[in-house]
Amino acid sequence: MNKTVFFPLLFFMVSCIGLAQSVDDPFSQKRMRKDLEVFKNIRLKANSGLYKYRTKEQIDSIYTWADGAIDRANTYGDFYNIICQLTDFEGSLHNDTRLPERYNQSMKKEQNGYFPYPVKWIEGKWIINFAKGEIPLGAEIVSINTIKMSDIIKNLYKYYTTDGVNTTGKRIGITYNFSKYYRLHYGLSPVFEVAYRPHNSHEVQNATLKGIAYTDYYKNVRQRHSEPFDEVDYKDWEEGETYSYKDIDGDTGILRVNSFSLGNKQSSSHGRYLTFLDSVFTHIKTKGIKNLIVDVRYNGGGTDPNDLVTYSYLTQRNFKENKQAWISFKKLPYLKYAFTKIPRFLRPLGAGKYNKMFKNNFPEEIDGKFYQDENNEDHQIRKPRPHAFTGNIYLLIGPRVASAGSLFAAMVAGNDNTTVIGEETMGGYYGHNGHTPMGYILPKSGMAVFFSVVNLEQDVPQKSNQRYDRGIIPDYDVPQSYNDFLQNRDTQMDFTIDLIRKNKNR
C-alpha cells in the first residue's frame, strides 16, 4: 500500500530496468558498504526527521549494528533487509525503501516457496484469515518452521513504516503482504511446519503446508475471509465514494471522509467538496443534530487544504496547520543520487527552482535548521465556519489513518467536545515528517529510498493520553472482536452508536 503524501514528488520517477535478478543473488560486502555510506550521508544531510523519535546515540548505535550486519551478509536480500531496518527505525510513515523493478518481477515469477494463507491480527493473536485451507479459519498461528509467530511479526515490521514506534499501522501491511514479507526475511521455503491452536482450544495442533507461487498467494489474499470488511484499508478511493453523510436518527449523523485526495484549492474536486461540506453542516444546524460521528478510519491522507477546511466545520477555535515546520538543508543535497530521469550534468539547473522554493518557504535559519516564518500559508490563522458543529463529536480512527488524515484526526481529537473511538492511528498526534518527499537511488544496489523532508509540529493541545512517539491514542480502544471478524461486522461503529444511546439515557 502506498501512503498518500501532501505534495507531488519533486522528481519524476523511473523504474530501474535490467535483466531479471533474484534477491537471493550474491552481493558483495564492498558494494554494501558503499551504499550504506551514501544512505547514511543522505539521511544526515537531508532528513530532518532523523532525530525526531531517536537520539543521536540511538542512530549511531543502529548504524554500528548495520556495519556489523554487513559482515554477516552475503546476498542482495540481506542488504535490502539492513536498509529496511534503518529506514523503519527512524519512525516516519513517509519513509520507504523500494527494490528495483527487476527484483520485483523476479519475485512475481517465483513458483514455489511462499506461505499459502493470509493472516490477520484479532484480539491480540495472529490468526488464519482464509476459509478454504488446511488450517481452520480463525485458528491462532503459534509458530511457523519452529519460529514463534510473535518473533516472526517483529522481524516483518521493518517492511511497513509508521510514525514513531507505532505498530498498529504495520498490521495493514502484514495483513495483505504477510507471505511476501516472510519470503524477504526468511527466504523461500518448500514446506511450512505450522503449529496452530483452533479457536477456543488450548490444544496445539500441527500441519505441514506446501509452499505456493507468489501469484497464488495473492489470489488467496483477494479471497481472504475479511476482504468484504477490510478492503477499505487498501482502496484507491474514487471521488464519488470518498465522502458521505447520513442521519441515523433525529439527534445523530455520520460524516465519513475516506481520503483528502480531492485536489488543491484551485481544483474542481476541491470545489465540489466545499459545496458538500457547506450543505451538510447547514443541514446539521437546521435539523438540530446533537451527536456527530466523524469516521476517518480509512483516510490515508491527501492534499491541502481539504483536511483544514473540514476541521473548520468541527471547531470553535482559531487554528493553523502547524506550530512550526523546518528542513535541514539550504540546497538540495547529493543531486548525483537523486531519483530522477534528468541527466546528472543537468540536475543543478533543474534543482534551481526547488532551491528557490525552499528558500522562500523556509527563510529563517536557526542552528542549522531552516524554518517557515509567519508569512507562510501553513501559519495562516484559520477561523471556524459560522455554522461549525458545536455538539458531541465521536471520532472514529484506525491504523490506516496517516499523513493529512492523522493531522486532521489529531486536531479533532484535541477538541474538548470529542470522544475518540477505535484503534491507534499510524500517523502521529503531535507531528510528523511530511509535505515534500524526496527520493534517491543507492548507486551500487539501485535501491530507491524516499523520505519527506519537512519536520512538522501540529497545532494540537497537549493531552495526557497522547504520546509523542505514537499514533493518536483513542479514548476507547475498540479493536474488532473475534465474533465480529467471523461475521465481518463493524465492532467500532456498533460500539459508538451504543455509547451515544447510553449517553442520551443518562
Tell me the per-residue pLDDT of 144-202, one tens digit each, with 9 for 90 and over: 999 999 999 999 999 999 999 999 999 999 999 999 999 999 999 999 999 999 999 99
Residue 342 has pLDDT above 90, yes or no: no
As a whole number, mean pLDDT of residues 347-352 equals: 78
Taking the model in full, what pTM does it have?
0.92
The CB density around residue 70, as the number of other CB atoms within 10 Å, is: 19
Q: Are 98 and 125 in contact (CB under 8 A)?
A: no
Residue 298 has which C-alpha cell?
480509512
CA–CA distances in Å: residue 12 to residues 9, 105, 338: 7, 21, 10
Distance in angstroms (rounded) separating the CA atoms of residues 478 and 398: 9
User: Cell for 221?
Assistant: 489474499
Q: How confident is the model at residue 6 (pLDDT cuts 50, 70, 90)?
A: very low
For the sheet with 476-477, list strands across it. Answer: 243-247, 252-257, 291-295, 392-397, 418-422, 476-477
Q: Considering the chain, what percentage of its residues have pLDDT values greater than 70? A: 96
The H or E element that residue 454 is part of is strand 448-458
What is the pLDDT confidence band of residue 506, given thresholds at 50, 70 and 90?
Answer: confident
For residue 19, what pLDDT is reported?
56
**Tens digit of pLDDT for each residue in 25-65?**
999 999 999 999 999 999 999 999 999 999 999 999 999 99
Q: Which three cell numbers stand for residue 454?
A: 519537512
CA 225, 229, 235, 239 dihedral sign is positive
* CA–CA distance, 135 with 461 (Å, rounded to integer): 48
Name the burial class of residue 24, with classes exposed (0-12), middle (13-18) and buried (19+) by CB atoms within 10 angstroms of its CB.
middle
Residue 20 has pLDDT above 90, yes or no: no
Residue-level pLDDT at 350: 74
Look up residue 94 and give its DSSP letter.
T
Going along the chain from its start, the domains and CATH numbers come out as 119-231 (2.30.42.10)
Query: Going by C-beta distance under 8 Å and a sequence separation of 6 or more, which residues neighbour residue 122?
Result: 138, 479, 480, 481, 482, 485
Does the structure show a pLDDT above 90 at 400? yes
Q: Residue 388 pLDDT more than 80?
A: yes
Q: What is the mean pLDDT of the chain?
A: 94
Residue 456: which pLDDT band, with cuts at 50, 70 and 90? very high
